[in-house]
Amino acid sequence: MDLYEYEAKKIFAEGGITVPPSVRITKPEELAKVHFGFPVTLKVQVLAGGRGKAGGIKFAKDLNEGQELAKTLLKMVVKDSKTESLLVEPKLNIKKELYLAVTLDRERGCAIFIASAEGGIEIETSDTVITMPIPNPYHPYVGRELARKLGFTGNLLVKVADVASKLYKIFEAKDLDLAEVNPLIITEGDEVLALDGKITVNDDALNRQRYFDGWLERHTMDLSERERRSKMIGLNLVELDGNIGILCNGAGLTMATMDMVKKFGGRPGNFLDVGGGSDQEKTLEALEIVNDNPECDVMLLNILGGITACDEVASALVKFIKKYPERKLVVRLRGNNQDVAEKILAESGLKLIPDLEAAVKEAVAQSTSVTKKPVGAKA
Amino acid sequence: MILIDKNTKVMVQGATGKMGSSHLKRMLAYGTKIVAGVTPGKGGTEVHGVPVYDSVKETVEKTGATTSVIFVPPYLALDAGLEALDAGVELICLITEGIPPQDTAKLVAAVKEKGAKLVGPNCPGVITPGQCLIGILPGQIFSAGKVGMISRSGTLTYEIALALTDAGLGQSTCVGVGGDPIKGMGYQELLQMFNDDKDTEVIVLIGEIGGNAEEVAAEFIKNNIKKPVVGFIAGVTAPPGKRMGHAGAIISGGKGTAESKIAAFKENGIHVALTPSEVAQMVAKAVPQLVKA
């Protein structure tokens, strides 16, 4: 779960990291609440990255200019992500900008600091980046070593090290995938502040992080209706721009099936993994989600029943076909209880194709010969 | 074969739960030597005729089990894994999906310190066909032979195993390393084991988008592996920035694409198949003497 900047900063502040004073507004007239005087910075609160480049950060010299800017900014959409609110902060005198983040490193299998003595940068393309593995349990000397490597001495070394240690503590305590301060700034008065921040909470930890209870709803606003429906029943749907709706069991097999569709000249319309051991009801809902894509011309169902019983899938299919008799459907079922599934489906007239490549080719052939558009439910 | 064989003594942690007990039954039916189940508070009972103990230490003392398959819920997995390590378990197979990665990182560090082995988490398990199955793999799809398999996926592994079995190409051992970004055993360690295993003549490596483990493995294969390797990468059509089912299957910041992995394989002399049946064809071509009549 990605958080908004203002939420990340609230968490930083609670963890002892200094952030600038701020006011969050959802209407232009609320700008009157600003208690730190003008000029100010107005920043759109969106979940997508790259808002600065998109024009989502503006400076206002007074209240009038601020309110005019706020009107436009509040309506802004950055990469499909709607502006939730504006964060207003005083314009600060910056002496130096840094980049500082904590994340998990796949290769090393542990948490790492990522830091740079240049702030506000594109961290993936910068060559000034330092990475440092973080031992568990944590000790503050690690933060001091990082600050030293960044070139700090004296009082600032101690201050930057302290921020690093606090950032790691937040990362660990809140089960984060990413805690990023970009930039971390040093003011003319040698104050160290988190000017902008990003936090990603690990989705699998949400059920044990009571702090985030009820947060998921307002952080999935950018999902499509079908993506949200899938999430509700614990499935993972990714929308693609093709016309072959895909439903499989297992993430790897679903990807491989999409890849084969493309290889044989078709266009996959989505990724949907129905998971292992899904029952009839869940399978039927998954079929409906794929069916409801207006771009979908043909549905390709690929189930390799290892643990998943083919007969459960077959029963869901029978119901689906009754409801949507016009829907073009190619089904590959193989494995556990395949014979029972064949019997269940015999009446529906649906022919099963046990060979995967043959099924994919059939779906591609049907998808390229389609002229008719979406198929609604039978009255 | 590697990791497990017909003599491996296996315990199941979380044996009395719904998933644990149903798979314990399947593993027994396959012929796996399941010597005990572990569920705190249920010691003295039985599950499918197998004795249940309260702790791993007690289980090791009474049965001599060296391997544990863990089915406990995600937030209990770290504790269960550490308990197994502390009791001297040599191989842990962690099936559980949805473990917070910081927990996994702690477990991985402890595994290294002990010199033990961890397969998973979020994995289908390990099978040495005809001898031993630990985890949730469907045993009937596999057959004994000389192909070693390593995979980040579950059902895709079954699909490819099915294609191999259909083509008369049995498997020595298949290892599902799991779909999480932080995990136990990786490609290199297993590649080396298969390279040193006299029962394995060819290795199939099934990767997917996300991270750079395949790129690293490709170079490792070129420099260290003497046996032919056939690779397969899932996710050529996956869009960037989207998690494709597995926690670790995501292209981020332009890194972890299927193209990059396939290119790395090809540059390092690894055959790359584009469909599961092509995997079987390439294996047959690489070691024609393996194809049974």
| pLDDT, tens only, A225-235 | 898 889 888 88
Among B102, B127, B259, the residue to mutate for chain A (most A Cβ within 10 A): B102
**Residue B211 burial class via C-beta count within 10 angstroms: exposed 0-12, middle 13-18, buried 19 and up:** buried
- Is the distance from CB of A211 to CB of B206 less than 8 angstroms? no
Sheet holding A328-335, edge to edge: A236-239, A270-273, A244-248, A298-305, A328-335
What is the Cα–Cα distance from A331 to A316, expressed in whole angstroms? 12
Averaged pLDDT of chain A: 91
Of A99, A168, A227, A312, which one is the catalytic site residue?
Answer: A99
Question: From CA B228, how far away is CA B203, in angstroms rounded?
Answer: 6
Q: Please name the residue of chain B whose CA is at the shortest distance from the CA of residue A306.
A: B138
Which residues in chain B are contacts of A305 at CB distance < 8 A? 138
User: Which of A272-276, A304-308, A340-344, B141-145 is predicted least confidently?
Assistant: A304-308
Domains of chain B in start order, with CATH, are 10-119 (3.40.50.720), 138-290 (3.40.50.261)
The answer on pLDDT for B200 being more than 90 is yes
pLDDT tens by residue, A135-178: 989 999 999 999 999 999 999 999 999 999 999 999 999 999 99
Q: Alpha carbon of A247 to those of A242, A251, B113, B171, B196: distances in Å?
A: 14, 10, 42, 28, 39
Specify the pLDDT at position B251: 84
Q: What angle do CA A346, A350, A354 make, to 5 degrees?
A: 90
Question: Which positions 96-115 of B are in contact with A (Cβ < 8 Å)?
Answer: 98-102, 104-106, 108-109
All structural domains of chain A: 21-90 (3.30.1490.20), 94-212 (3.30.470.20), 225-368 (3.40.50.261)
- Is B158's Cβ below 8 Å from some Cβ in A? yes
Q: Measured on CA atoms in the order A47, A48, A51, A56, is the torsion positive or negative?
A: negative
* Rounded Cα distance, A237 and A220, in Å: 13
- Quick check: A371 pLDDT over 70? no
**Angle (CA) B144 B150 B152, round 5°:** 130
> Which phi and psi angles does B43 have, rounded to 5°?
-55, 140
- What is the tens place of the pLDDT at every residue in B159-196? 999 999 999 999 999 999 999 999 999 999 999 999 99
Residues of B within 8 A of A109 (CB-CB) are: 104-105, 108-109, 182-183
Helix axes A280-291, A310-323, angle to 10 degrees: 50
Angle of the A338-346 helix axis to the A310-323 helix axis, nearest 10: 20
Partners of B216 on chain A (C-beta within 8 Å) are: 107
- Does A369 have pLDDT greater than 90? no
Beta bridge partners of A40: A60, A90
The tens digit of pLDDT for each residue in A129-138 reads: 899 999 989 9
Q: Does the ipTM surpass 0.90?
A: yes
* Residue A77 pLDDT level (bands cut at 50, 70, 90): very high
Neighbours of A72 (CB within 10 A): 14
CA distances from A107 to B108, B159, B206, B216, B254 (A): 12, 28, 18, 10, 17
Q: Which residues of A touch B167 (CB under 8 A)?
A: none
DSSP H helices in chain B: 18-30, 56-63, 77-86, 101-114, 155-166, 187-196, 213-224, 258-267, 276-286
C-alpha B254/C-alpha B236 separation (Å) is: 13
**Residue B238 at interface with chain A, using a CB cutoff of 8 Å:** yes
B152: closest chain A residue by CA: A252
List, as ranges, residues 238-297 from A with C-beta within 8 Å of B.
238, 240, 248-256, 258-263, 268, 271, 273, 276
**Where does the pLDDT of residue A121 fall: very low under 50, low under 70, confident under 90, or very high at 90 and above?**
low
